Amino acid sequence: MAVQEELKKIILGLLPQVDCVIGWGPGPDLLCASPYFMRRPEEVDNFLAGPMATQNTALYLPEYKGKKVALVVKGCDSRSVAQLLAEKLIAREEVRIIGFPCAGVADMGKIAARLAPHGEPGEAEKAVYGEKELRITMAGRELVLPLAEIKADKCLRCAHPNAVFSDHFAGEKAAGNDDEFKDLAALETMSLEDRFSFWEKEMSRCVRCYACRNACPLCVCRDHCVASSRDPHWLTQADGVSDKLLFQVTHALHLAGRCTGCGECQRACPAGIPVLLLKRALSRAVEGLFGHSAGLDPETRPPLLTFQVEERTIKEKAW
Amino acid sequence: MSVSSTVSGAAAPELRIVGFLCNWCSYGGADTAGVGRFIQPTDLRIIRLPCSGRTNPLFIAKALLQGADGVLVSGCHPRDCHYAEGNFYARRRLEVFKQLLPVLGVDPRRFEYTWVSASEGQRWQMVVSKFTEQIHSLGPARRLPGAPELEWLRESAG
Amino acid sequence: MDMQGKFIPRAQLDDWLAELAARFRVWTPRRAGQEDSGAVVYLPEARQPELNRKPTESAKRVIFPRSEPLLRFLRKPDPDQTGQKSLELQVPDADGPNLVFGLPPCDARGFLVLDPVYAGVKGQAGDSYYLRRRSQTVLIARACSRALTTCFCHWVGGSPSSTEGLDVLATEIQEGFLLQPLTPQGEEVLDSKLLLSAGKEQMEAAQSAWQAAEKTLGPGADMQGAQEALRALFDNAAFWQAEAASCLSCGVCTHLCPTCYCFNITDEAVGEKGVRLRSWDACMFSLYTQEASGHNPRQDKAARLKNRIGHKFSYYPELYQTRNACVGCGRCIKSCPSRLDIRAVLTKALALSRPAAGKPETTAPATVRPAAKPKVNKPATSKPVAAKPGAAKRGKEASHA
């Protein structure tokens, strides 16, 4: 709460210097906020930061090219900004970064799973996030969910809860965790055959809404996508798993060495398909091969956009 | 010549292997092997690209997810690229791509990349023979179910 | 009433669905995916329907599939002209009858919005693919026991127990379901030895369940003048830019929507054979309006959001002289990654069109029955929604002139 108030002060101070400040504001219910675009001082009253601030504010930056904007960022959001800068997709002088110590955001799927015996999240009459818990009132009864249980998986392994770089910072820096790519373990205990079946089953729910693509702050092709029904027609418009998976694989490959693991693709998916796993596998590969984690330094070139004449870490097949 | 042992058994049905070859080295190498009448297995179908650096991993992913049993990419040896650095970029991308395959449930041995120069007809013969043998040892790849609305097209594809 | 209500104990539900599966392709909402990310989707599986959670997607794909073949084409050598090819066209086989069990009433009302579009306007030929599936699909809805915060069916003439467009209404009571037939087709599917006759007591229990559900709805809205309000905002780019600021231009809202009906047509060909597909399209995608010249009349996401909302509440009702093209299911709010709220946009648009009060009229008490049905609708096609079943007939016949 104190941090939220401190952030409001910083935002108010920056408003006269920028076209708008992007943060979070009230959503359609009390569980999850909406991205919020502040231009007038009175709008700052409704600014929110906390477990409900799920969306990645960096997504909108390229839209504001040529205008000056300030951005409130969680650690993961700041990594997207750093990556956009590293790829020269935005200009440093056009963006002001406001950081704060993020304690993790809520995962709506986890909330739904934990509420399941009582109803669904949309039935909540009241929802209040506290320091350690979420209090939900449903059918007149109060239910208490510890934040640790409803935090998004990406937050449980987050190594950078504070903005990796910022112009302003509110509050005391928080400690991070180690990311050991344990999220891949469940899939990797399966046989190859079962993994193949896993993707077949998961992708069968895909409705081809492309929210995964559009929620990705680093998906840069925008309206010239491989999934386009016109040229060059890489995918058919049929409702088949193979085209749907091919899109996911292509999307992940485009992000290899660039994905910061913000998880917006997976959060945006209405069908609950774990599409982040593919990107995580590639991030691990890139980290292992080139010692690179995306979005930590606005100056570093993504590893697949460069090379070394002698690649010591690549073990080529000996024929 | 003692190549017949590396040729896939005539009895085994042919599998579908796609080769993406750079125009300047590997395609020339395959040509050299042909001119030299080196016996090679016939499962491989070659798609010529200007450079191994032109190999968008999407090409390989599409082949592997939509009908190929194996994919081979071959370019100029490192430091020998016609465009100076194309294969250096390719090497990183292809290695990263290979590491994604097990996560998808695809055996990573279904995909290999290598370097064959235009004069290396024998190396080309060796690579094709060994890779074909590798794919045959893995057998036909599992296919994702096709969309029912395109069933009719698949009947024609055979 | 000549149509007899039936009762099925919950334990027997799967048996009855299995019995129906012999005659229909039975679709039910089913939980799918891992626990923490689970979605509820309609699957052609006649068992264990998920009836406690609102399905993530609408049921529209049963009648309007995500992708369907319209025709097949084959180029053959022409026997009469050497070197020439002739084109042979084939119509794909039709699929059999469908039955959906367990959809919420708003999903069924969604089909009433699609009907005029595909039935053919003013004597024009209808869409045979849609109409065939439509006439062969039986809809058994379950009355909602509670509204979600994102539900606003009562803004647009619906209710948690609306019978409009249904063949059977199922209401959960006393460890089972009261099943009330609303059409001859509905009566026919209730002709089963597994079902018991429902008594007065069960009818009363259902009635109190409907009333309890109504009470959980949020504040209603006076939608009077929505058509004009949105038309008046057509050239107000600043309004739409502000409202669309958080929009991602993805297709979540349109693809989950029970009333969005836009499609794309593509040819998928291999060699001499091809299939012409019709697949869902979304007006939120920039390619939707991209012209062959490269010009795009809806260049930014603000123009696209304006179209979606304008179409639902202004252009559609004007064009078809009927109801709004929205049934208030709230999926576009619930599943929107940015949580963009169509209700908030509408409320602001209406407020702007009402200069005197200047305040959005969303303060009607929550317990008001769906009196706030859209007054913009023509009375001939928009029947009042009765909490008592039997009043409404499938709207397909009625909703196009």
| Full pLDDT tens readout for chain C, 401 residues | 446 899 999 999 999 999 999 999 999 999 998 877 779 999 999 999 999 899 999 999 999 999 999 999 999 998 888 889 999 999 988 889 999 999 999 999 999 999 999 998 777 889 999 999 999 999 999 999 999 999 999 999 999 999 999 999 999 998 999 999 999 999 999 999 999 999 999 999 999 999 999 999 999 999 999 999 999 999 999 999 999 999 999 999 999 999 999 999 999 998 899 999 999 999 999 999 999 999 999 999 999 999 999 999 999 999 999 999 999 999 999 999 999 999 999 999 999 998 765 444 444 443 333 444 444 333 333 333 343 443 333 333 333 33
Instruction: Verify whether the Cβ–Cβ distance C271 to B149 is below 8 Å.
Output: no
Q: Which residues of C touch A236 (CB under 8 A)?
A: 266, 268, 277
Kindly state the percentage of chain B with pLDDT values over 90.
85
A75 within 8 A of A119, measured Cβ to Cβ: no
Answer whether residue C54 is part of any domain.
yes
Which residues make Cβ contacts (< 8 Å) with residue B45, sequence separation at least 6? Answer: B16, B17, B18, B19
Distance, CA of C171 to CA of C363 (rounded, Å): 30
Residue of C nearest to B156 (CA): C273
Distance, CA of A62 to CA of A66 (rounded, Å): 9
Give the position of tokens 């870490």.
A313
Interface membership of A131 toward B (CB under 8 Å):
no
Based on the structure, what is the number of domains in chain C? Answer: 1
**Residues B81-119: tens digit of each pLDDT:** 999 999 999 999 999 999 999 999 999 999 999 999 999
Residue C384's pLDDT is what?
39
Tokens representing residue B115 in the block: 């370097």
Residue C379's pLDDT is what?
37
Query: CB contacts < 8 Å between A and B, how many?
Result: 131
Distance, CA of A302 to CA of A292 (rounded, Å): 8
Based on C-alpha coordinates, what's the Rg of chain A?
20
Tokens representing residue A39 in the block: 């231009």
Please give the average per-residue pLDDT across B132-156, as a whole number: 91
Q: Which residues of A touch B99 (CB under 8 A)?
A: 281-282, 285, 288-289
Fold of A108-150: Nuclear Transport Factor 2; Chain: A, (3.10.450)
Interface membership of A120 toward C (CB under 8 Å):
yes
Interface membership of C268 toward A (CB under 8 Å):
yes
Specify the 3-state DSSP secondary structure of A143: strand
Residue C121's pLDDT is what?
74
For helices A276-290 and B86-104, angle between their N-to-C axes, nearest 10 degrees = 130
Q: Evaluate if residue A253 carries a pLDDT over 80.
A: yes
Residue A30's pLDDT is what?
83
DSSP per residue, C279-323 = EE--TTSGGGG--TTS--SS-SHHHHHHHHHHIIIIIHHHHHTSS
Q: Evaluate if residue B7 carries a pLDDT over 70.
A: no
Pairing of the two strands C6-9 and C196-197 = antiparallel
Please give the average per-residue pLDDT across A107-128, as a whole number: 91
A278 within 8 A of B56, measured Cβ to Cβ: no
Residue B11's pLDDT is what?
62
**DSSP code at position B54:** G
Q: Which residues of B touch C271 (CB under 8 A)?
A: 156
Amino acid residing at B60: I
Interface membership of A209 toward C (CB under 8 Å):
yes
Answer whether residue B43 is part of any domain.
yes
Please give the average per-residue pLDDT across B145-150, as a whole number: 91
Residue A221's pLDDT is what?
86
Specify the 3-state DSSP secondary structure of B19: strand
Residue C356's pLDDT is what?
63
Answer whether residue C352 is part of any domain.
yes
CA angle C312, C316, C317 (to 5 degrees): 100
Residues composing chain A? 319
The minimum CA-CA distance between B42 and chain A, rounded to whole Å, is 19
Kindly state the percentage of chain A with pLDDT values over 90.
92
Residue C380's pLDDT is what?
39
Q: Evaluate if residue A164 carries a pLDDT over 70.
A: yes
Instruction: Verify whether the Cβ–Cβ distance C69 to B157 is below 8 Å.
Output: no
Distance, CA of A146 to CA of A149 (rounded, Å): 6
Interface membership of B158 toward C (CB under 8 Å):
no
Give the torsion through C-alpha atoms of C165, A121, C56, C230, to 10 deg.
70
Answer whether residue B5 is part of any domain.
no
ipTM, interface predicted TM-score of the complex: 0.95
Q: Which residues of B touch A294 (CB under 8 A)?
A: none
Interface membership of C288 toward A (CB under 8 Å):
no
Structural domain span for residue B152:
13-157
Q: Which residues of A touch B79 (CB under 8 A)?
A: 309
Q: Which of residues 90-149 of B touch C (CB under 8 A)?
A: 147, 149
Residue of B nearest to A309 (CA): B88
Q: Which of residues 150-209 of A touch B (CB under 8 A)?
A: 184, 187-188, 190, 192-200
**Residues A287-318: tens digit of each pLDDT:** 999 999 999 999 999 999 999 999 999 999 99
pTM for the structure as a whole:
0.91
Interface membership of C132 toward B (CB under 8 Å):
no
Half-sphere exposure of A270 (CA within 13 A, CB side): 31
Which residues make Cβ contacts (< 8 Å) with residue C118, sequence separation at least 6? Answer: C126, C127, C130, C131, C134, C261
Domain ranges of chain A: 1-105+158-179, 108-150, 181-319
Reference C52, options A121, A120, A122; nearest CA is A120
Reference A129, options A115, A153, A145, A110; nearest CA is A145
**Residues A23-33: tens digit of each pLDDT:** 999 999 889 99
Based on the structure, what is the number of domains in chain B? Answer: 1
Answer whether residue B4 is part of any domain.
no
Instruction: Verify whether the Cβ–Cβ distance B89 to A256 is below 8 Å.
Output: no
Give the torsion through C-alpha atoms of C295, C300, C305, C310, to 10 deg.
-50
Instruction: Verify whether the Cβ–Cβ distance C68 to B149 is below 8 Å.
Output: yes
HEC string of C55-75 equals CCCCHHHHCCCCEEEEEEEEE
Residue B154's pLDDT is what?
82
Please give the average per-residue pLDDT across A269-288, as a whole number: 97
Q: Which of B66, B153, B154, B155 to mutate to test the interface with C (most CBs of C within 10 A)?
A: B153
Please give the average per-residue pLDDT across A228-247, as a whole number: 91
Tokens representing residue A214 in the block: 């559009």
Distance, CA of C216 to CA of C366 (rounded, Å): 7
Answer whether residue B2 is part of any domain.
no
Please give the average per-residue pLDDT across A159-175, as a whole number: 96
Q: List the subunits that have 3+ CB pairs under 8 angstroms with A.
A: B, C
